Amino acid sequence: MNPGTTVIKTADGYVFELRSASGEVLLTGNPQASRARCLASAASVRLNCRAPLEKDGEPRRCPRFAVRTTGYGFFRLVYIGGGGRVTARGPECRSYAAAASGARKIAALGFAGDTAPDDACAPGGAEKGSAG
């Protein structure tokens, strides 16, 4: 499996998964109604793979990564797109540091310029996902 591979699958719509070379899922996109919107959302994350990790007290810029707590006491990396909405989420982690490491892994893989084989979407058309 190639690092940064975008895997499109059908569930409640089309979702993407950004994976490391070892197959670890780094981010999963929100379900989209169309494959084209899903690919555009994935392209947005890839193009902004070096977006900053949100820190307390700093102005909130978009796009950015942030670590949020779940209702079960876990931590999750989220990607907040240019519209200020969460468009992708990482897996639940037991610590803040583990969740934050996802942003470093994504940046290190350098997804910028990496596209799915049949990705014909313009990167600027990312769909706004649900907040949370």
pLDDT exceeds cutoff 80 at 29: yes
Return the pLDDT at 111.
60
**Residues 11, 9: Cα–Cα separation, whole Å:** 7
Return the pLDDT at 92.
95
Return the pLDDT at 109.
78
pTM across the whole model:
0.76
CATH architecture of 6-109: Roll (2.30)
Cβ burial 64-89 (10 Å sphere, 16+ → b, else e)? bbbbbeeeeeebbbbbbbbeebbbbb
pLDDT (tens digit, 9 = 90+) per residue, 37-75? 898 888 888 888 888 898 877 778 888 999 999 988 999
Order of strands across the sheet that contains 86-93 = 6-10, 14-19, 25-29, 86-93, 75-80, 64-69
> Residue 76 pairs with which residues in a beta bridge?
68, 92
Average pLDDT for 8-27: 85
Return the domain boundaries, the chain.
6-109
> Rounded to whole angstroms, what are the CA distances from 11 to 15, 35, 116?
8, 12, 19
